[in-house]
Amino acid sequence: MKRVAAADLGIDAVQAQRMILLPDIDWVEIPGGDFIYQEGERRSLPTFYMARYPVTNVQYQTFIDAGGYGDQRWWADLVRPEPDESRWSQGNRPRTNVDWYEAVAFSRWLSAQLGYEVRLPTEEEWERAARGQDGREYPWGAGYQTGYANIDERYSKAGEWSLEQTTAVGGYPHAASAEGVLDLSGNVWEWCLNKYDQPDQGEADTSGDRRVARGGAWFFGPGGARGSLRFRLLPGNRGYVRGFRLVSSAPIA
């Protein structure tokens, strides 16, 4: 985590009396080129970088501590709610109970602090990271394997594991994607940038149109954790099965 004086972030004097720890994102390079999308369609993307893990409680708390909910700069064309508490508060668990608007506001704030753009992934980027270039069913390959994701394995009798809560990010290293991204199956549904019915539209607005979520969650079975599964949610929908991660297309040293 990079330590930054709160006063340097332009927030009020009371908050400036403490220090803000900026999230240190572990970026994974996802090489550009052709890949298989959905049911065999060939698409192409440039190189981008994806966070190895979903945003955690401790990382999201930096946004709250920096006065992020009170700064209109991060909320243009967004619906701004009051912050909710994460269902499980341990620092290294995924931040839950955040809607799409909050995830976008966090990414805008963090972009300003880091000096380069970070944002939610498009579902194309998310799927490329989860399925590799060869369109695998799960990040690790074909077929669900018991103990490879935090899901309800009892659903569809896929196994005996059902933890009934989130787990610390990175807890399933054997289930890494081709490039080493973790938690792409299970744990929490992850918000994507674009709209569900209009995938080419990722701009912020207050229309209430459903946005895409990917990856499944601890509450769902193995079908929801497949890399190609598209899930739609109202952008203001919070819950303890929803989180998010970041991507960047900027060169990262």
Query: What is the tens place of the pLDDT at every residue in 28-58?
Result: 999 999 999 999 999 999 999 999 999 999 9
pTM for the predicted model, two decimal places: 0.91
pLDDT for 20 equals 65
Return the pLDDT at 10: 47
Who contacts 42 (Cβ-Cβ below 8 Å, separation ≥6)?
A: 34, 35, 36
Question: Count H helices, E strands: the chain?
Answer: 3, 11
The answer to whether the CB of 45 falls within 8 A of the CB of 128 is yes
Question: pLDDT tens, 102-125?
Answer: 999 999 999 999 999 999 999 999
Averaged pLDDT of the chain: 92
**Domain ranges in the chain?**
2-248
Q: Which among 83, 80, 70 is positioned nearest to 104, based on CA atoms?
A: 80
- Reported as a pLDDT band with limits 50, 70 and 90, residue 12 is very low
Burial of 203 (0-12, 13-18, 19+ CB in 10 A): exposed
CA 74 remoteness from chain centre: 18
Asked if 132 and 35 count as a contact pair (C-beta separation under 8 A), the reply is: yes
Structure tokens at 15: 């908050």
Q: What is the C-alpha to C-alpha distance for residues 79 and 99, in angstroms, rounded to an integer?
A: 10
CATH of domain 2-248: 3.90.1580.10
pLDDT digits (tens, 9 = 90+) for 162-212: 999 999 999 999 999 999 999 999 999 999 999 999 999 999 999 999 999
Residue 253 scores a pLDDT above 70: no
Of 128, 84, 112, the C-alpha closest to 23 is 112
CA 121 to chain centre: 8
Query: What mean pLDDT is predicted for residues 8-28?
Result: 61
